[in-house]
Chains A and B, each alone.
Chain A
Amino acid sequence: ESALTQSPGTLSLSPGERATLSCRASQSISSSYLAWYQQKPGQAPRLLIYGASSRATGIPDRFSGSGSGTDFTLTISRLEPEDFAVYYCQQSGNSLWTFGQGTKVEIK
């Protein structure tokens, strides 16, 4: 089982700034099996990125994903007010799908 560790725990930024979120796997995983989700308070998570770098339907191009092996990154190029939320990475490389503990992007 590959554990996922996200950093930082909280990212304090202003609208318009760039956000860089990290997800590190305890074992190498194929980039095909890494996804990112956004969760706002009181809402279900929403798929943003799958296959490490493919945007899900309807996701703005300010969201991008990259990485391979054990290190993956979600980048939000210019934060919009609606982007302040918690972000989770998730791996599907083995039978037990697991999530990172989340990174909260808050308004500075």
Chain B
Amino acid sequence: QVQLQESGPGLVKPSETLSLTCAVSLHSISSTHSWGWIRQPPGKGLECIGSIYYTGTTYYNPSLKSRVTISVDTSKNQFSLKVRSVTAADTAVYYCARLGPNWIDPWGRGILVTVSS
């Protein structure tokens, strides 16, 4: 059963870059699926940030596209997220997940990232 685990700093200063990594286990990241990042501000709903295929093809939410980069490292079976120039509005639980053709499953446990000085 594929497992995903997010890692990275839980606190980022305003205007800096948020960097997270998602380690994938029990499943090759070089499969027919895409891999994505979704975030959830405290007490609010879910927002797709973007996704990546193992070939490196990416898709980004247009509202975040100018600040986001998603990359993949097939040798380490992991993928990463960078969000530049963060503000308090970027405070959220960040989830990584596997994306099927019309579903998201499974999800990582999530990591809370707080943007604060």
Interface residues of A (CB under 8 A from B): 32-35, 37, 43-47, 50-51, 56, 88, 90, 92, 95-102
Contact = CB atoms under 8 A, between A and B. Distances in A.
Contacts, number: 51
Interface string B87-112: 00000000100001111111111100
A36 to B, nearest CB: 10
Contacts of B45: 88, 99-102
A92 B105 contact: no
B46 interface: yes
Contact of B47 (A34, A46, A92, A99): A99
Contacts of B109: 43-44
Please classify the interface of chain B as helix (H, G, I), strand (E, B), loop, or mixed, using the class held by over half of its residues. loop
A96 B46 contact: no
A44 B108 CA distance: 7
A24 B46 CA distance: 17
28 contacts: A32-B102, A33-B102, A34-B102, A35-B102, A35-B103, A44-B95, A44-B106, A44-B109, A44-B110, A45-B95, A46-B105, A47-B103, A47-B105, A47-B106, A50-B100, A50-B103, A51-B102, A56-B103, A56-B105, A88-B45, A90-B46, A92-B102, A96-B48, A96-B62, A97-B104, A98-B48, A99-B46, A101-B45
